[in-house]
Amino acid sequence: MKLFEPLTDSVFYIMASLTEPRHGYAVMSLVEETTKGAFVIGPASLYTIIKKLLKEQFIVMHDESDSRRKVYVLTDVGRQTLEADIARRKVMIEMAEKGLERGSIG
Amino acid sequence: MKLFEPLTDSVFYIMASLTEPRHGYAVMSLVEETTKGAFVIGPASLYTIIKKLLKEQFIVMHDESDSRRKVYVLTDVGRQTLEADIARRKVMIEMAEKGLERGSIG
DNA sequence: AATGTTATATCATAAAGTGATATAACATTT
DNA sequence: AAATGTTATATCACTTTATGATATAACATT
């Protein structure tokens, strides 16, 4: 199993929303609110990615689920994967910021 | 012109590499080195994205270019776009870290 | 019972990313 | 100076990822 594959932004947002149990629609709303509308995940993307995350066992269905609201939550593997990707993203940002600092002297 | 569209990871890496003048191949190597191989941008992705960035005027060809090495650098618009995306990415990471903190108490 | 909101789901298509491959200039060796 | 290796750009055909539009239905409110 490939634990440390880079996550796409959409996947990252969804996984970051599922550190605690949440149903799909709530994930969608949370991302939109948190990013003040800068990043919107529509239903097509959401449910496609949820299906993929279940398959890879990065999330599981939570017992609070009923037939109407399907609640998901990160697994340990999912959590580890998210942590690894956070680290990667921090390096990304550092890289960009260092470059911008250097470049903006002139 | 849409200044603040979310940048994909690949686009972000390439733009972050071009805060100072660099030719394509060097961008490729830099990303691989900086991420210790976690993120690899192959030639197909690289030149596809460079073409797109030129078109959107996020980068321009630099005068140091010769027929062999084509050197690119961020424009002001490109720089602003990168800065905006850094901000978005910081919010992303905060969101994920807050969630992980809460979740890891139990 | 009609209307609006919440919620999940899929289809067809578009956008993004990539492995393989091609081409060629330059550098180094023999 | 021919051969080999490295640097460097480029594109094709294909896969993966993302999404707009749409469908369905339960629940809430009027």
CATH number of the domain bearing residue A75: 1.10.10.10
pLDDT at B2 over 60: no
Q: Say if B95 falls within a structural domain.
A: yes
Structure tokens at A48: 């496609």
Is the Cα dihedral A2, B106, A31, A74 positive or negative? positive
Q: What is the pLDDT of residue A1?
A: 45
Instruction: Indicate the residue of B15, B35, B91 with minimum beta-carbon distance to A35.
Output: B91
Q: Is the CB of A68 under 7 A from strand D?
A: yes
Q: Say if A4 falls within a structural domain.
A: no
- Which residues form the domain of A71? 9-102
Interval B57-86: pLDDT, tens: 999 999 988 878 999 999 999 999 999 999
Mutate to test the interface with B, among A59, A81, A95 (most CBs of B within 10 A): A95
Q: What is the pLDDT of residue A102?
A: 83
- Percent of chain A predicted with pLDDT > 90: 86
Alpha carbon distance B30, B7 (integer Å): 19
Residue A61 exposure: Cα atoms within 13 Å on the Cβ side? 9
Q: Say if A82 falls within a structural domain.
A: yes
Q: Say if B68 falls within a structural domain.
A: yes
Number of domains in chain A: 1
Q: How confident is the model at residue B1 (pLDDT cuts 50, 70, 90)?
A: very low
Contact across the interface for A20 and B103, Cβ inside 8 Å: yes
Residues of A in contact with B83 (CB under 8 A): 100
pTM of the model: 0.93
Q: What is the pLDDT of residue A65?
A: 86
> A15-18: long-range contacts at Cβ-Cβ below 8 A with a sequence spacing of 24 or more?
A15/A53, A15/A58, A15/A59, A15/A74, A15/A78, A15/A81, A15/A82, A15/B96, A16/A82, A16/B92, A16/B95, A16/B96, A16/B99, A17/B95, A17/B99, A18/A59, A18/A72, A18/A73, A18/A74, A18/A78
pLDDT at A33 over 50: yes
Q: Say if B4 falls within a structural domain.
A: no
Q: Say if A3 falls within a structural domain.
A: no
Interval B5-51: pLDDT, tens: 899 999 999 999 999 999 999 999 999 999 999 999 999 999 999 99
Structure tokens at A72: 């998901």
Interval A60-100: pLDDT, tens: 999 988 878 999 999 999 999 999 999 999 999 999 999 99
Q: Say if B3 falls within a structural domain.
A: no
Q: What is the pLDDT of residue A34?
A: 93
Q: Say if A1 falls within a structural domain.
A: no
Taking residues A20-49, what's their average pLDDT? 96
